[in-house]
């Protein structure tokens, strides 16, 4: 299953998310996501128990303004097909 979703952040930035998921017989799915912003992207992955309600996805990397970022994304289903995502990012120090 693959999805391409447009989004707008709380600050008004627009972008899109490329998300691919594989469903397994044990009621889990593995998802890989790339959140593409005008100034770079953030990648994340997660094993998610079904049915989908809420889950945390660790970030696996980034590019552009998000080069070297770590952290996680909290995901909460608010209605069918709508997920509220909150990014908790840690940027590397550049001394």
Q: What is the DSSP string of 25-90?
A: TTTEEEEEEEEEETTEEEEEEEEEESSPSEEEEEEEEEEETTTT-EEEEEEEEEETTEEEEEEEEE
Q: In total, how many domains does the chain have? A: 1
pLDDT at residue 2 tops 90: no
Q: Is 37 a domain residue?
A: yes
pLDDT given at position 80: 87
pLDDT given at position 82: 87
pLDDT of 37-71, one tens digit each?
999 999 999 999 999 899 999 999 999 999 999 99
Q: Is 95 a domain residue?
A: no
Q: Is 36 a domain residue?
A: yes
Domain that holds residue 35: 2-90
Over residues 10-20, the mean pLDDT reads 92
């Amino acid at each position: 299953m693959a999805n391409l979703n447009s989004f707008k952040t709380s600050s008004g930035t627009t972008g899109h998310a490329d998300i691919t998921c594989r469903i397994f017989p044990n009621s889990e799915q593995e998802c890989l996501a790339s959140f593409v912003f005008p100034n770079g992207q953030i990648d994340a992955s997660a094993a998610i128990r079904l049915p989908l309600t809420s889950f945390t996805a660790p970030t696996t990397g980034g590019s552009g303004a998000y080069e070297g970022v770590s952290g996680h994304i909290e995901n909460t289903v608010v209605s069918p097909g709508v997920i509220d995502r909150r990014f908790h990012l840690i940027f590397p120090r550049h001394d």
